Structure formats: structure tokens, C-alpha cells
Amino acid sequence: MTLDLLITNARIMLPGKGLTEATLGVRDGRIAVIADRGADLAARETLDCEGLWLLPGVIDPHVHFGFGSPETDFETESRTAAIGGTTTVLSFHRSKDIRESCDAARTLGETQSCIDFGFHFGITSHLHVQTLEEISARFGVSSYKLYMMYKGAAGLAQGFTDIDDGLLYAALRQAARIPGAIMGVHCENVEVIPLLRDELRAAGRDDLKAWNQQSPDFLEAENVHRVCYFASKTGAAVNIVHLSSREALDEVRRHRLRRNGPPIYVESCPHYLFLNDESPAGTYAKVNPPVRSQDDVEAMWEGVLDGSITTIGSDHVPRKRATKDKTIWAASNGFPGTGMILPLMLHEGYHRRQVPLARIVELCAANSARIYNLPSKGGIEVGKDADLLVVDPDLEKVVDPATLESHADYSPYEGMKIKGWPVRTLVRGRCVMQDGRITDEARTYPGGRYLRRAQSDAAS
Ligand SMILES: [Zn+2]
């Protein structure tokens, strides 16, 4: 058989084996063969990767494409993703009636995205709960998100009338009936926040630490407890998304000790592993939940090492710098980060903290493939999609938003020198990024595919 592409001389990250000197062949967008180094295989094109690693493409399970420029985010944000080695994203799709909006969102992505993508659905009303089975089966979606920070007055300000503990319970009960479904929950107790926020504002505070103090760790932990407790009563698998604090992670650990409970997954984000509430990034690092103390940063690394954190997602929000150049109270929430997952995990995790590379790959690819029903993604194995990163572990680059192609024209990591970058990103065998630039071919023909991932679609 003639292969489309042969990758030679790389050290390849193989599941269960770690970095292994091997040769890898791609055919029809999939990994067709993994052979010994020096194996004699015929291919149309050969890529010599001496001195470099081959890693599976990063799966970012938490992006908000559409929060920057709704019409063009899939183009710009898929490019910024690919530049940093992210080859699959799961973006949040939210609307009044998902039955009427999802097809258009999918078409936009298929037209513009140069990486593969899927959706989670935002559950903000009883209509969403009532139609959950239908929209899951129809659009191939098995994961959702509830926004406990839009309860009550905070929700009404956003136009949400239904968000309360009743909706939380109803959604968990309904999700438990859908095979393979996971309910993600944003955990912050929004009923206490205004009390603390008003005091801090009255005291004249305008700094990143005040943003942490207005929504402290125990308000996250309290919500984590409520969600895990209700989940245990309904049998739903839950996912504590963008978990940020030691207090909240300890609460998850406590609930996991109960016998026979449904799984509790934890997602954390690069910013909770890399930034604290004294970061010079200031309002650029404003996010919900807030970036925390250095002790919380250390707790996140402990969670990475001991396995209590399941996945890493970026919570990517690509708004403009102008929305951030304000007081801490007025600045917009969230920031771009999907293309920074791998570089930050290599720089801070692998190089500085000696986190095993296999663990980083689990958190950034394999675990998301497993829990989100993406059997063709997440690892370098024969038969899987050839979503591959050629990585130079020693390449140092200063983070410069001008080269990152995001609609957002800033980065909270701006000016930092980061060690460990992909030099090529392949999506199903096709090179979409080379030497930090999106290829002309990927610009002309983006080629990203929509990923159906309901359990009935994919035996996993
Ligand atoms: Zn959230």
C-alpha cells in the first residue's frame, strides 16, 4: 500500500509506551501504520522529524466561539487553535430553542473551521430540559452546561428566567436518562457575590485580587457540593468545568469517596495553572471563576499529578482588547487561550514542574476523547484520525497576539517567553499550520468537520 504521508525519525507519543522512536504512516486522513524506526514504507510524501516529538492533537473541550465576532469566529479562532496545536474544539451553543438554531451554527463551522469541532448545549430553560433527548439525538451532542452563575437577578439581567436549583435538578435527572451524557456545571454562588462585590467597590478597590475576593473559593466549593449531591441523587454524570480552587477540588474528592456514585469529572484551565490573582495581566486575566491565589495554583498542579483533574479546557473567549481596557468591574469576562493550552502545559508543566508528558497528553487529549465520545480522536493509534502535532520541545517564543490570528487582539500571556511549541499541526493528515503560520491551503479550504458524538453514533 502506498501511504499519503510518512513521518520518520520522530519520537512518537504512543499510549502506554511514552515517547518511542518509530515511523508513522497516514492514509486517507487516518493513522494507517506505526512501524519501527527505519521501516521501509512507500509514501507520496515524507516528513523527517529528527529531534522532534509527535503528539496527538489537543482537544479543547471548552471554547466560546461566537463571543468575539459571531460571523467569523470559526475562521479566526480555529486558526489560533491550530497555531498552538489544538485540532478539535467543543464549543458552547446556546439559544432559546436549540432545535431551530443548531443547524446554522454547524454550517458556519463547516464552512470556516480549519479544525474539527463539536458542540455542547447551554441549558438555560425548562424547554431545553424537555427537549434534551431530542436535541441530543438529532445533533449528536452528549454534553451540556448549566450556568449556576446566572441564577436569579444575575440571570434576569441576561434574559434567563428559569435558572434555579429546580432547573439544576431537572436537568441532572433528564441527563441521567441519556446514555453517555455529561452535565457540565459552572459553579459559583451568585447570590452571595453581589454582597462582597459591593463592599469591595465601595472600598475603592480596582485590581485583579478584588475580582477573586468578590467570588471567593468557598462560593465555588459550595456550588460544587450542591451539584455533586444532586448528581448522586439523580445518577447523572457531572463535569465541574473550569474548576479553579483548592477548596472546590477538595469538595470533589470528598464526593468521589462515596460508594457507587456516578462519575464526577473535573476540568481545569491553563490560567488556573499558570496565573494567580497578583498577575500583571490585570483585567486581561479577568474571568469567572476568578484566577486565584498561588496556593490554588499549586493545588491545580497537585490535581494534575494525582489524577483528580480529568481534562484541561481553555474557556476561550475572543473579545477585543478594548473590552478589557477598563476597570476590573467594567472589563469583559474571559480571554482567548485555546492555542495556548499545549505551549503552557509544556512550558510550566513539563519543563518547570517535571509533569510526565504522558499525563499532559491524557489531560489535553485522551481524557476528553474518552468522556466526550470522540473515539477517533485523542491518541496516536492505528485507525484513529491523523490529528498530529510535530512539536519542538525546546523552541522558545514570546507570546505576541499579532501572530496568533485570533479576533481578540490581546492575550493575558502577552510578552511571556514560553518554551515548547508545535511546528506543524496536522488535521486528519493535512497540514494546517507550519512554523507558526496557517498554511495557504487551510486558508483557501478550511476543511474542518462537525463531530457527531452521541453514544448511539459511536461505540466507545
Ligand atoms: Zn462557565
Instruction: Provide the grid cell at 134.
Output: 431530542
Is the pLDDT score of 385 beyond 50?
Answer: yes
Note the pLDDT of residue 281.
Answer: 97
State residue 242's pLDDT score. Answer: 98
Task: Say what the pLDDT of residue 456 is.
Answer: 55
More confident site: 52 or 154: 52
The amino acid that residue 194 corresponds to is P
Residue 351 carries which DSSP code?
I
Whole-number Å distance, alpha carbon 67 to ligand 1 midpoint, is: 13
Distance 71 CA to ligand 1 centre (A): 22
Written as one letter, the residue type at 255 is H
Average pLDDT, integer, range 153-161: 84
Contact between 212 and 277 under an 8 Å Cβ cutoff? The reply is: yes
Give the DSSP letter of residue 160.
-
How confident is the model over 56-62, as a mean pLDDT? 98
Residues 314-349 have pLDDT tens digits of: 999 999 999 999 999 999 999 999 999 999 999 999
pLDDT tens for 95-110 read 999 999 999 999 999 9
Ligand 1 geometric centre to CA of 276 (Å): 18
Tens of pLDDT along 308-317? 999 999 999 9
428: left (phi over 0), alpha (psi -120 to 50) or beta: left
Whole-number Å distance, alpha carbon 421 to ligand 1 midpoint, is 27
Give residue 32 CA to ligand 1 midpoint distance, Å. Answer: 38
Give me the mean pLDDT over the 359-387 stretch.
98
Beta bridge partners of 421: 392
Q: What is the distance in A from the centroid of ligand 1 to the CA of 394?
A: 33
What's the gap in Å between 121 CA and the centre of ligand 1? 12
Residue 38's φ and ψ, nearest 5 degrees, are: 85, 0
pLDDT of 287 above 90: yes
Q: Ligand 1 centre from 244 Cα, in Å?
A: 11
- Rounded Cα–Cα distance for residues 3 and 32 (Å): 8
Query: pLDDT band for position 455 (50/70/90)?
Result: low
The answer to whether residue 6 scores a pLDDT higher than 80 is yes
CA of 301 to the centre of ligand 1 (A): 21
Q: What is the mean pLDDT of the chain?
A: 96
Q: Distance, CA 62 to ligand 1 centroid (Å)?
A: 9
pLDDT at 228 over 50: yes
pLDDT of residue 458: 43
User: How confident is the model at residue 158, as a pLDDT?
Assistant: 83
Whole-model pTM: value is 0.97
How far apart are the CA of 229 and the centre of ligand 1, in A?
20
* CA 39 to ligand 1 center in whole angstroms: 48
% pLDDT > 90, the chain:
93
> How many whole angstroms from 35 Cα to the centroid of ligand 1?
43
CA of 359 to the centre of ligand 1 (A): 25
- pLDDT recorded at residue 27: 98
Average pLDDT, integer, range 166-182: 96
The answer on pLDDT for 460 being more than 80 is: no
Give residue 289 CA to ligand 1 midpoint distance, Å: 7
> What's the pLDDT score for residue 155?
86
For 86, the 3-state DSSP assignment is strand
Which residue in 272, 177, 289 sits closest to 223, CA to CA? Answer: 289
Residue 412 Cα to ligand 1 midpoint, Å, equals 18
CA angle 241, 124, 265 (to 5 degrees): 20
d(CA 397, CA 403): 11
Ligand 1 centroid from CA 429, angstroms: 33
> 192 or 456: which carries more pLDDT confidence?
192
Distance 424 CA to ligand 1 centre (A): 31
Mean pLDDT within 232-259: 95
Label residue 261 by pLDDT band (50, 70, 90): confident
User: Which residue's entry shows cell 505576541?
Assistant: 400
- Residues β-bridged to residue 46: 6
Q: Which CATH superfamily is domain 57-371 in?
A: Metal-dependent hydrolases (3.20.20.140)
Per DSSP, the residues of 303-336 read: HHHHT---EE---B----GGGTSS-TTTSPS-B-
- Average pLDDT of the residues in 188-209: 97
Instruction: Specify whether the CB–CB gap between 55 and 82 falls below 8 A.
Output: no
Tell how far the Cα of 43 is from the centroid of ligand 1, in angstroms. Answer: 45
What does the domain layout of the chain look like in residue ranges?
Answer: 57-371
Dist. CA 149 → ligand 1 center (Å): 8
Tell me how far the alpha carbon of residue 388 lies from the centroid of ligand 1, in angstroms. Answer: 29
> Span 371-399, mean pLDDT?
98
Go through the chain and tell me how many residues it has: 460
Can you read off the three cell numbers belonging to residue 9? 525519525
**Residue 243 Cα, ligand 1 centroid: separation in angstroms?**
9
Q: What pLDDT is attached to residue 459?
A: 39
